[in-house]
Amino acid sequence: MSLQPLLQSLLSVGTSLLAFIPRLVNGLIVLLVGYLLSWLVRWLLRFLFRQMRLEALFERIGLRRSLAALGIRIPLSELLAQLVFFFLLLSFSIQAVELMGLTPVAALLQAVLLFLPRAISAALLLLLGSLLARLLGNTVTAVARNVNITYASALGRLIEYTVVAFLCVLALATLGVETTLLTTSLTIIVAAAGLAIALTFALGTREVARHVIAGYYVRQQFRRGQRLTLGDYSGTLQTTSGAYTTLEVQAEDGSRRLIALPNALLLQGVTISEEPPPAPPAQTATPATPGSGAAPTTGQASPAPAPEGEDGQGPEPSTGPHFNQT
């Protein structure tokens, strides 16, 4: 049995190892230098972020709370510094692996490096979109509470989660994932939910809308102060607002109380008992002049009768000077 083939194989392996050692050393040197440069850049970024008080700015605009809601507890400034560090280190690693002659590993790392920008874009889309979704949800909750909707918080969360769902689909599309079926399904779900809510409001508020429209005609036909009779109720019209009209009625014990009747009922069978009394004209009192002894008069004072002469034909002419009495 000849040992020549075995010796040739061992010699070839040894030669390859001896040829690989310089490439390995060069690659390790490049990797070490890249690590030191990446660490230095990360330290500089941390120092700059601390001097700029970037974390306080992120806290004021709400980015810190959004990261906490997504399960990210690390500060955003530290996260940015770490991203830059790993991006630089990965770039140097690709160069080091290529120097070592490990072409498949270099291709894999190159694909990861090309994927990182898309991943960062998707993360930023989710981060900023979650801020927008939370702002929109809080706005809807505040508006619903102002109009006394009991399920205001649930409505705000529903709007927020719907926006976040669409943002997740956009983030997946940014990463290169096929989202046609997912987008179509989500659109159908949202459209069906919106149609169901619209039908619920339309059927549930039909009577309210009828009374609100009837209120316009009630205000045109009746005036405040008229005595109206509707079935067992008889009272004085006070106000007409929204879907109800307020009447002041007299109870059995003689006390007066207010009742609210739907506006549509007033148009169906109300009877006007009496017209409201006309308002008396405004009168102004004229104070009497001090020392004159005259009583104060109301409204326009009638002219005093002129003194007659001896013949009764007019005022007697005065002789001598006369003075204006003040």
Looking at residue 278, what is its pLDDT?
A: 53
Cβ pair 225, 241 in contact under 8 A:
no
231 contacts: CB under 8 Å, gap ≥ 6: 269
Distance of alpha carbon 5 from alpha carbon 81, whole angstroms: 55
Looking at residue 195, what is its pLDDT?
A: 83
Q: What percent of the chain has pLDDT over 90?
A: 4
Looking at residue 280, what is its pLDDT?
A: 55
pTM to 2 decimals? 0.49
Q: Which residue reads 């009828």 in tokens?
A: 210
Could you read off the pLDDT of 256-277 as tens digits, one per residue?
888 887 877 777 776 666 555 5
The one-letter amino acid at 169: V
pLDDT range class, residue 77, cuts 50, 70, 90: confident
Looking at residue 37, what is its pLDDT?
A: 93
Could you read off the pLDDT of 113-136 as tens digits, one per residue?
888 888 888 888 887 888 788 888
pLDDT at 292 over 60: no
Q: Which of 20-24, 48-52, 67-71, 92-96 has the lowest mean pLDDT?
A: 67-71
Q: Which residue reads 């009742």 in tokens?
A: 259
Q: At what angle do helices 206-221 and 180-204 cross, to 10 degrees?
A: 40
First to last CA, the chain: 157
In the CATH scheme, what is the code of domain 223-274? 2.30.30.60
The residues spanned by each domain of the chain are 19-101, 223-274
pLDDT at 305 over 50: no
The Cβ-side half-sphere exposure at 310, using a 13 Å CA radius, reads 1
Beta partners for residue 259, in sequence order: 247
What's the whole-number mean pLDDT along residues 307-314? 44
Distance of alpha carbon 284 from alpha carbon 127, whole angstroms: 72
What's the whole-number mean pLDDT along residues 172-199? 80
Q: Which residue reads 């690590």 in tokens?
A: 35
Cβ pair 39, 85 in contact under 8 A:
yes
pLDDT at 304 over 70: no
Beta partners for residue 230, in sequence order: 233
